[in-house]
Structure 1
Amino acid sequence: MTATRRTILLTGASGVVGNALLQHLGHHKVVCLVHNNAPEGATEHVRGDLTAPGLGLDPQDRHRLAAEVDTIIHCAAVTDFTAGADATRDLNVVGTERVLEFATESGAITHYVSTAFVARTDLTRSDVGEGMADPSDYLETKRAAEHVVATAGLPTTIIRPSIVIGDSTTGAITKFQGLHTLIRAVLKNTLPLVPLQPDAHIDFVPQDVLATAITSLVDSGTSFGEYWITAGQNALTTSTMIELCVEVGSRLGLEAQPPRLVNTDMVDRLIRPVFINPLPRAVRRRFDDMIAMTALFANASYFPSTLGDVPGCAPLSTDLLADAFTRGVEHLMRAQRLGQFAEEAA
């Protein structure tokens, strides 16, 4: 059955999720709301500002779009944990309010892309030390934005992906994420320890899987519900991911040594005061940033997963996740000229 062709207003088109969506929504008319330059692959775009009244659109553009748009996919968000509370709230909460104002005017269905990490309410650290990364600002604003969406009285869905990695087949991704930083550190032997248990589950979803799920919700005309696009109980463990990093690195010319896995209590009681505090400030800051990030996974329960409830989608298997992760490591090494790829570039 052919999906009804829709006119979609897409925010955040230059981000990882938005860019992946552009590759899946070709059977619809997609108008990208951009602040600066249009992303590659965008066939139509309008300039605006998510935090401004009327989305900062030229009145003529706004009137035209309100008459044409029947679907909104709202991906734009501040995801940088160092951005600060004010900038994060402006885009993540105020921007969502502005989008819903436009949805009221246009009568469009709104698909709001949130994060599965809204479920991790008790795992952010109140003390980030000398680090600059504070996940609490991001998570608080995503929870607030979800409340705005849920209470708007409009046709809306809330989509909660876990960490988004590259394409499951090629590993390619528009912009490397925090997880890639850790992978590179393992490959380069610059990460002697990771404050996680070996059996801690690191939930991620390939970008094409997420884009397929969102596209399916659009195609089916779904206008309500909450969707957890996650690996759930099949998420890979810390030890499995490190083993895969080491295996890929070795196969492609890097002899990586697996870092030691320790619990956070040991970090606070022994490792930081004895080994970290004497180091230069820049090193201490990077260490505290890592602690703030990994706290979201330490002692965490599984995310819910409702990927199988999305029309045409199925739960992610451990084998598929392991293959996708492997492709991501290979892509990272190729893009950053690590191992044998450094020799090929020389």
Structure 2
Amino acid sequence: MTTEMTWRKKTILLTGAAGVVGRALIDELAPDFDIVCMRHRTPVADVRVSEFGGSFDEPRLGMSADDYAVLVRRVDAIVHAAAATSWKEDPARIREVNLGGPTALLRLAEQASVPLYFLSTAFVANPPAANGHSPGAAAYVHSKIEAEELVRSHPAASVILRPSIITGDSVDGRMSQFQGIHAVLGAIVRGAAPMIPMPADALIDFVPQDLVAAVIGKLLREGVETGEFWLTAGDQSLNARDIMDLCMGLAAELGLATKEPRLIPTEAVDRLIIPLLEDSLPPKLAAKFRDLLEFSWLFQSAEPLPNSLPELGFGKQIEKDALHRAAYNSMYYWARVKGLAPADGKVRVA
């Protein structure tokens, strides 16, 4: 008599599945894992996953005692990609959300004896001052620093992941929603940014969403349950001049008569530009320009961010040529969505 043995796939609890990283993670993990998504408002609506509505503010994530017990028995790992990322949120609310999620999920991880994979941000390496140019960004980054401390000090096994700016898919540029960097680069392409507050040699560290997902997938498949990893371009980052040339090249390709903005040192913006905002621009336009400045200030760095990707086997994906192609593809997809390029336009592989 032959006995056939069947092995179930491991089950991943994923939060933030409707977001940029979450969507990329579904693509990456669905072939090898059963994915259960906890959502708050936005349905995931993907046949490859199961989902339930939940809340970090409620006991047992808002589930019944029986359903929660099933989740505890079933889950093999937790990937926490949900966060309050809007810098326009009240800082207290940003902190509440970004600490509430890890608190609830660490409790679940401990009960289920499984690891928590926590998505932080690489900008914890150089957080903006709370009373500086970027109060919203500062609230977000500092909430991630606190959340990391919470995760690090908890007895549950945990992996901390620190991606830098996340752009679209490296091949076709697609992503579920555009990020702040698209606002800055899009303004350059459209000619809506007469100046950008960064020197030409400032580093702009970004990584494509599919690369972030591939790294997390590798760690899950290999059963890594501890460690802290920087998912960045590091010393391979493009600089402001590289990005400017890319944007101006795309503008020309799209047939736009865009005038190249000036790259201006931050101190000049502080001293000369900001004092004129209130006097020279309508309130709505001044607010939009301040948003552009806030994104620009956060995105740039003088020194490379720490980087774990080469040691994880992903060094080739962050070589400068690969990053340049990924940035172009992401911005060309942006142009298609914004109606600046044909909807059926082919992504040029540079």
TM-score (structure 1 length as normaliser): 0.92
CA distance in 1 between counterparts of 2:277 and 2:87 reads 25
Equivalent in the alignment of 1:229: 231
Alpha-carbon RMSD across the aligned residues, in angstroms, is 2.1
Judge conservation of contact 2:110–2:155 (CA < 8 Å) in 1: no
Residue 56 of structure 2 corresponds to: 50
Aligned position for 1:32? 37
- CA–CA distance in structure 1, aligned partners of residues 246 and 130 of structure 2: 28
Residue number in structure 2 paired with 1:99: 105
Gaps of 5+ in 2: 1-6, 346-350
Q: Give the match for residue 314 of structure 1.
A: 315
Post-superposition offset of 1:275? 6.2
> Which 10-residue stretch deviates more, 49-58 or 146-155?
49-58
Q: What is the letter of the counterpart of residue 56 of structure 1?
A: G
**Which residue of structure 1 lines up, in the alignment, with residue 212 of structure 2?**
210
Give yes or no for contact 1:116–1:303 (8 Å, CA) kept in 2.
Answer: yes
1:258-306 deviation digits (Å, cap 9, x = unpaired): 2100011111222223466321111222222222222224553211110
Rounded Cα–Cα distance in structure 2 between residues aligned with 1:216 and 1:144 = 27
Of 96, 104, 109, the match for 1:90 = 96
Deviation digits for residues 20-66 of structure 1, max 9, x if unmatched?
A: 00001111011001123431325211221123222112222211010
Q: Structure 2 vs 1, CA of residues 159 and 342 (structure 1 numbering), >3 Å: closer, same or farther? A: closer
Partner of 2:285: helix, strand, or coil?
helix
Structure 2 residue matching 1:51: 3-state secondary structure: coil
Distance 1:127 1:285, change over 3 A: farther
Matched, 1:169 2:171: yes
**8 A Cα contact 1:69 1:108, kept in partner:** yes
Number of aligned positions between the proteins: 336
Indicate if the aligned counterparts of 2:204 and 2:301 stay in contact, CA closer than 8 A. no
- C-alpha displacement of 1:101: 0.5
CA distance in 1, matches of 2:102, 2:291: 28
The normalised TM-score by structure 2 is: 0.91
SS in structure 2 of the partner of residue 23 of structure 1: helix
Paired residue for 1:159, among 155, 158, 161?
Answer: 161
The 5-angstrom pairing of residues 315-334 of structure 1 reads 315=316, 316-334=318-336
Identical pairs, percent: 33
Correspondence for 2:72 among 66, 72, 83: 66
Q: CA deviation at 1:191?
A: 0.3
**Equivalent position SS for 1:73:** strand
Residues 159/4 of structure 1: CA separation in 2 closer, same or farther (3 Å cut): farther
1:119 aligns with 2:125: yes
